[in-house]
Protein backbone atom coordinates (compact mmCIF):
# COMPACT_ATOMS: atom_id res chain seq x y z
CA UNK A 1 0.00 0.00 0.00
CA UNK A 2 2.89 2.35 0.81
CA UNK A 3 4.37 1.76 -2.66
CA UNK A 4 1.02 2.60 -4.27
CA UNK A 5 0.81 5.83 -2.31
CA UNK A 6 4.31 6.70 -3.52
CA UNK A 7 3.18 6.08 -7.10
CA UNK A 8 0.15 8.29 -6.58
CA UNK A 9 2.31 11.15 -5.29
CA UNK A 10 5.00 10.58 -7.92
CA UNK A 11 2.60 10.86 -10.86
CA UNK A 12 0.29 13.32 -9.08
CA UNK A 13 -2.75 11.62 -10.60
CA UNK A 14 -4.77 8.42 -10.58
CA UNK A 15 -6.33 6.57 -7.67
CA UNK A 16 -5.78 3.57 -5.39
CA UNK A 17 -8.60 1.03 -5.52
CA UNK A 18 -9.33 -2.44 -4.14
CA UNK A 19 -8.13 -5.15 -6.53
CA UNK A 20 -8.97 -8.21 -4.41
CA UNK A 21 -11.07 -7.66 -1.30
CA UNK A 22 -10.52 -11.20 -0.02
CA UNK A 23 -6.75 -10.86 -0.17
CA UNK A 24 -6.85 -7.20 0.92
CA UNK A 25 -4.99 -6.27 -2.27
CA UNK A 26 -5.00 -2.82 -3.89
CA UNK A 27 -3.88 -1.36 -7.21
CA UNK A 28 -2.91 2.03 -8.57
CA UNK A 29 -4.78 3.02 -11.72
CA UNK A 30 -5.05 6.05 -13.99
CA UNK A 31 -8.20 6.38 -16.09
CA UNK A 32 -8.40 10.02 -17.18
CA UNK A 33 -7.18 10.55 -20.73
CA UNK A 34 -5.56 13.89 -19.93
CA UNK A 35 -3.63 12.36 -17.01
CA UNK A 36 -2.44 9.52 -19.22
CA UNK A 37 -1.26 11.99 -21.86
CA UNK A 38 0.25 14.55 -19.50
CA UNK A 39 1.86 12.30 -16.87
CA UNK A 40 2.02 8.60 -17.74
CA UNK A 41 3.05 8.71 -21.40
CA UNK A 42 5.86 11.28 -20.85
CA UNK A 43 7.28 9.12 -18.06
CA UNK A 44 7.56 6.02 -20.26
CA UNK A 45 8.93 8.10 -23.12
CA UNK A 46 11.68 9.30 -20.81
CA UNK A 47 12.24 5.85 -19.31
CA UNK A 48 11.42 3.32 -22.08
CA UNK A 49 10.48 -0.24 -21.20
CA UNK A 50 13.29 -2.73 -21.82
CA UNK A 51 11.31 -5.84 -22.80
CA UNK A 52 8.94 -6.42 -25.68
CA UNK A 53 6.20 -4.81 -23.61
CA UNK A 54 7.52 -1.61 -25.15
CA UNK A 55 5.59 -2.62 -28.29
CA UNK A 56 2.38 -2.73 -26.27
CA UNK A 57 3.15 0.66 -24.77
CA UNK A 58 3.68 2.20 -28.20
CA UNK A 59 0.37 0.83 -29.48
CA UNK A 60 -1.37 1.82 -26.24
CA UNK A 61 0.00 5.35 -26.62
CA UNK A 62 -1.18 5.49 -30.24
CA UNK A 63 -4.68 4.35 -29.25
CA UNK A 64 -4.93 6.95 -26.47
CA UNK A 65 -3.87 9.80 -28.75
CA UNK A 66 -6.37 8.65 -31.39
CA UNK A 67 -9.10 8.51 -28.76
CA UNK A 68 -8.22 12.06 -27.67
CA UNK A 69 -8.76 13.18 -31.29
CA UNK A 70 -12.13 11.37 -31.37
CA UNK A 71 -10.98 9.02 -34.11
CA UNK A 72 -13.34 6.21 -35.11
CA UNK A 73 -13.41 3.58 -32.35
CA UNK A 74 -12.86 0.83 -34.94
CA UNK A 75 -9.35 2.16 -35.56
CA UNK A 76 -8.60 1.91 -31.87
CA UNK A 77 -10.02 -1.61 -31.63
CA UNK A 78 -7.81 -2.64 -34.54
CA UNK A 79 -4.75 -1.54 -32.57
CA UNK A 80 -6.00 -3.32 -29.46
CA UNK A 81 -6.34 -6.64 -31.31
CA UNK A 82 -2.56 -6.87 -31.70
CA UNK A 83 -1.61 -5.94 -28.14
CA UNK A 84 -0.56 -7.97 -25.09
CA UNK A 85 -1.40 -11.68 -25.40
CA UNK A 86 -2.53 -11.17 -29.01
CA UNK A 87 0.92 -10.07 -30.14
CA UNK A 88 2.86 -12.85 -31.84
CA UNK A 89 5.94 -14.57 -30.43
CA UNK A 90 7.84 -13.71 -33.63
CA UNK A 91 7.10 -9.99 -33.43
CA UNK A 92 8.24 -9.77 -29.82
CA UNK A 93 11.40 -11.84 -30.41
CA UNK A 94 12.35 -9.94 -33.58
CA UNK A 95 11.82 -6.60 -31.85
CA UNK A 96 14.17 -7.42 -28.97
CA UNK A 97 16.80 -8.95 -31.23
CA UNK A 98 16.83 -5.77 -33.25
CA UNK A 99 17.51 -3.56 -30.24
CA UNK A 100 20.50 -2.88 -28.01
CA UNK A 101 19.80 -3.40 -24.31
CA UNK A 102 21.76 -1.21 -21.92
CA UNK A 103 20.71 -1.96 -18.36
CA UNK A 104 20.87 0.63 -15.60
CA UNK A 105 21.28 -0.14 -11.91
CA UNK A 106 17.85 1.26 -11.07
CA UNK A 107 16.16 -0.85 -13.74
CA UNK A 108 17.84 -4.06 -12.55
CA UNK A 109 16.86 -3.33 -8.95
CA UNK A 110 13.24 -2.73 -9.93
CA UNK A 111 13.12 -5.78 -12.21
CA UNK A 112 14.45 -8.08 -9.50
CA UNK A 113 11.91 -6.56 -7.13
CA UNK A 114 9.10 -7.30 -9.55
CA UNK A 115 10.20 -10.55 -11.22
CA UNK A 116 12.89 -12.11 -9.03
CA UNK A 117 12.45 -15.02 -6.63
CA UNK A 118 14.90 -15.78 -3.83
CA UNK A 119 15.14 -19.54 -3.30
CA UNK A 120 16.92 -21.81 -0.86
CA UNK A 121 16.87 -25.53 -1.59
CA UNK A 122 17.57 -27.76 1.44
CA UNK A 123 17.47 -31.49 0.84
CA UNK A 124 19.19 -34.80 1.48
CA UNK A 125 20.49 -36.54 -1.64
CA UNK A 126 21.45 -40.18 -1.91
CA UNK A 127 24.22 -41.46 -4.16
CA UNK A 128 24.56 -45.23 -3.91
CA UNK A 129 25.25 -45.90 -0.23
CA UNK A 130 26.13 -42.32 0.65
CA UNK A 131 23.91 -39.39 1.58
CA UNK A 132 24.71 -35.71 1.60
CA UNK A 133 22.94 -32.52 2.59
CA UNK A 134 22.62 -30.07 -0.29
CA UNK A 135 21.89 -26.38 0.36
CA UNK A 136 21.61 -24.07 -2.63
CA UNK A 137 20.78 -20.37 -2.55
CA UNK A 138 19.66 -19.02 -5.90
CA UNK A 139 18.06 -15.93 -7.35
CA UNK A 140 15.74 -16.84 -10.22
CA UNK A 141 14.08 -14.55 -12.74
CA UNK A 142 11.55 -15.96 -15.22
CA UNK A 143 10.36 -14.43 -18.48
CA UNK A 144 8.48 -15.60 -21.51
CA UNK A 145 11.02 -17.12 -23.90
CA UNK A 146 10.39 -14.44 -26.53
CA UNK A 147 12.04 -12.04 -24.05
CA UNK A 148 15.02 -14.28 -23.30
CA UNK A 149 17.36 -11.53 -24.50
CA UNK A 150 16.38 -9.57 -21.39
CA UNK A 151 17.49 -12.49 -19.21
CA UNK A 152 20.76 -12.77 -21.13
CA UNK A 153 21.32 -9.03 -20.59
CA UNK A 154 20.84 -9.52 -16.83
CA UNK A 155 23.31 -12.41 -16.91
CA UNK A 156 25.86 -10.17 -18.61
CA UNK A 157 25.09 -7.36 -16.14
CA UNK A 158 26.00 -9.55 -13.15
CA UNK A 159 28.71 -11.42 -15.04
CA UNK A 160 27.57 -14.83 -13.82
CA UNK A 161 24.71 -17.28 -13.69
CA UNK A 162 23.07 -19.23 -16.51
CA UNK A 163 19.88 -19.52 -18.52
CA UNK A 164 17.58 -22.50 -18.25
CA UNK A 165 16.83 -24.43 -20.38
CA UNK A 166 19.94 -24.32 -22.55
CA UNK A 167 19.41 -23.50 -26.22
CA UNK A 168 20.60 -21.11 -28.91
CA UNK A 169 18.87 -17.88 -27.87
CA UNK A 170 19.95 -16.20 -31.13
CA UNK A 171 17.78 -18.60 -33.14
CA UNK A 172 14.09 -17.84 -33.47
CA UNK A 173 13.35 -21.46 -34.32
CA UNK A 174 15.24 -22.72 -31.26
CA UNK A 175 13.39 -20.27 -29.00
CA UNK A 176 10.01 -21.36 -30.35
CA UNK A 177 10.81 -25.03 -29.75
CA UNK A 178 11.66 -24.80 -26.05
CA UNK A 179 9.33 -24.24 -23.12
CA UNK A 180 7.32 -21.03 -23.06
CA UNK A 181 9.13 -19.70 -19.98
CA UNK A 182 12.90 -19.32 -19.60
CA UNK A 183 14.81 -18.57 -16.41
CA UNK A 184 17.95 -16.77 -15.36
CA UNK A 185 19.48 -18.53 -12.37
CA UNK A 186 22.41 -17.29 -10.32
CA UNK A 187 23.85 -18.67 -7.09
CA UNK A 188 23.92 -16.32 -4.15
CA UNK A 189 27.26 -14.65 -3.52
CA UNK A 190 28.72 -11.21 -2.88
CA UNK A 191 28.12 -9.98 -6.44
CA UNK A 192 24.37 -10.26 -5.85
CA UNK A 193 24.24 -9.23 -2.20
CA UNK A 194 26.55 -6.25 -2.70
CA UNK A 195 24.34 -4.98 -5.51
CA UNK A 196 21.05 -5.41 -3.62
CA UNK A 197 22.50 -3.93 -0.44
CA UNK A 198 23.50 -0.86 -2.43
CA UNK A 199 20.19 -0.77 -4.32
CA UNK A 200 17.60 -2.07 -1.84
CA UNK A 201 14.16 -3.16 -3.01
CA UNK A 202 11.04 -1.33 -1.92
CA UNK A 203 8.46 -4.11 -1.64
CA UNK A 204 7.96 -7.00 0.76
CA UNK A 205 10.38 -8.96 -1.40
CA UNK A 206 13.21 -7.17 0.34
CA UNK A 207 12.31 -9.19 3.45
CA UNK A 208 12.74 -12.38 1.42
CA UNK A 209 16.10 -11.09 0.24
CA UNK A 210 17.26 -10.35 3.79
CA UNK A 211 16.27 -13.86 4.93
CA UNK A 212 17.99 -15.29 1.85
CA UNK A 213 21.15 -13.37 2.69
CA UNK A 214 21.02 -14.69 6.28
CA UNK A 215 20.73 -18.23 4.89
CA UNK A 216 23.86 -17.65 2.82
CA UNK A 217 25.72 -16.51 5.94
CA UNK A 218 24.45 -19.48 7.96
CA UNK A 219 25.62 -21.85 5.23
CA UNK A 220 29.05 -20.20 5.07
CA UNK A 221 29.32 -20.56 8.85
CA UNK A 222 28.31 -24.25 8.55
CA UNK A 223 25.30 -23.80 10.83
CA UNK A 224 23.74 -26.85 9.17
CA UNK A 225 26.25 -29.12 10.95
CA UNK A 226 24.26 -28.83 14.18
CA UNK A 227 20.65 -29.90 14.59
CA UNK A 228 19.68 -26.52 16.01
CA UNK A 229 21.41 -24.66 13.20
CA UNK A 230 19.77 -26.76 10.49
CA UNK A 231 16.35 -26.32 12.10
CA UNK A 232 16.94 -22.56 12.16
CA UNK A 233 17.77 -22.57 8.44
CA UNK A 234 14.71 -24.66 7.56
CA UNK A 235 12.48 -22.38 9.62
CA UNK A 236 13.93 -19.30 7.90
CA UNK A 237 13.38 -20.87 4.48
CA UNK A 238 9.75 -21.75 5.25
CA UNK A 239 9.04 -18.17 6.27
CA UNK A 240 10.08 -16.74 2.90
CA UNK A 241 8.06 -16.05 -0.25
CA UNK A 242 4.62 -17.69 -0.01
CA UNK A 243 5.47 -18.72 3.55
CA UNK A 244 5.47 -15.06 4.52
CA UNK A 245 1.87 -14.74 3.32
CA UNK A 246 0.88 -17.71 5.48
CA UNK A 247 1.94 -15.88 8.62
CA UNK A 248 -0.33 -12.85 8.34
CA UNK A 249 -4.02 -12.07 8.08
CA UNK A 250 -3.96 -10.64 4.55
CA UNK A 251 -5.01 -13.89 2.88
CA UNK A 252 -8.13 -15.97 3.57
CA UNK A 253 -7.79 -19.46 5.03
CA UNK A 254 -8.99 -21.11 1.81
CA UNK A 255 -6.44 -19.18 -0.24
CA UNK A 256 -3.74 -20.04 2.29
CA UNK A 257 -4.52 -23.72 1.80
CA UNK A 258 -4.18 -23.38 -1.97
CA UNK A 259 -0.94 -21.43 -1.58
CA UNK A 260 0.41 -24.05 0.82
CA UNK A 261 -0.35 -26.94 -1.55
CA UNK A 262 1.21 -25.12 -4.50
CA UNK A 263 4.28 -24.06 -2.51
CA UNK A 264 4.90 -27.56 -1.16
CA UNK A 265 4.73 -28.95 -4.67
CA UNK A 266 7.12 -26.30 -6.02
CA UNK A 267 9.61 -26.87 -3.20
CA UNK A 268 9.47 -30.63 -3.70
CA UNK A 269 10.13 -30.32 -7.43
CA UNK A 270 12.93 -27.82 -6.89
CA UNK A 271 14.66 -29.85 -4.16
CA UNK A 272 14.54 -32.97 -6.30
CA UNK A 273 16.36 -31.14 -9.09
CA UNK A 274 19.15 -29.82 -6.84
Could you tell me the residue ranges of all domains in the chain? 2-97, 105-273
Residue among 108, 176, 114 nearest 146 (CA): 176
Spatial CB neighbours of 198, under 8 Å, sequence gap ≥ 6:
none
B/e letters for 70-90, b = 16+ CB within 10 Å, e = fewer, are: eeeeeebeebeeebeeebeee
pTM recorded for the entire structure: 0.84
Cα Rg of the chain, angstroms: 22
CATH topology of domain 2-97: Endonuclease I-creI (3.10.28)
Domain 105-273 of CATH type 3.40.50.300: no
Domain 2-97 and domain 105-273, same fold? Reply is yes
> What is the separation of C-alpha 121 from the centre of its chain, rounded to a whole number of angstroms?
19
Instruction: Determine the Cα–Cα distance for residues 202 and 114; give it in Å rounded to an integer.
Output: 10
Residue among 135, 153, 151, 134 nearest 143 (CA): 151
pLDDT by residue for the chain (274 residues), tens only, comes to: 668 888 889 999 999 988 877 767 889 999 999 999 999 999 999 999 999 999 999 999 999 999 998 888 999 999 999 999 999 999 999 999 999 999 999 999 999 999 999 999 998 887 777 888 999 999 999 999 999 999 999 999 999 999 999 999 999 999 999 999 999 999 998 999 999 999 999 988 999 999 999 999 999 999 999 999 999 999 999 999 888 766 655 444 455 455 445 545 554 554 455 4
Instruction: Determine the Cα–Cα distance for residues 141 and 210; give it in Å rounded to an integer.
Output: 17
Residue among 18, 36, 218, 237 nearest 246 (CA): 237
Amino acid sequence: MIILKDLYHYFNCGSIVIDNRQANAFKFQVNKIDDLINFIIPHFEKYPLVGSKQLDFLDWKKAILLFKKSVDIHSILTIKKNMNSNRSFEERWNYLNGTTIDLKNEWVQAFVDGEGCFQCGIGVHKNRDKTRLAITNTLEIAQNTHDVKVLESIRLFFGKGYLKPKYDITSLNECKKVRSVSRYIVYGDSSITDFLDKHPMFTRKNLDYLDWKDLITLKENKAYKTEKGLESMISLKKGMNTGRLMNNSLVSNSDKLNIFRWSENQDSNRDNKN
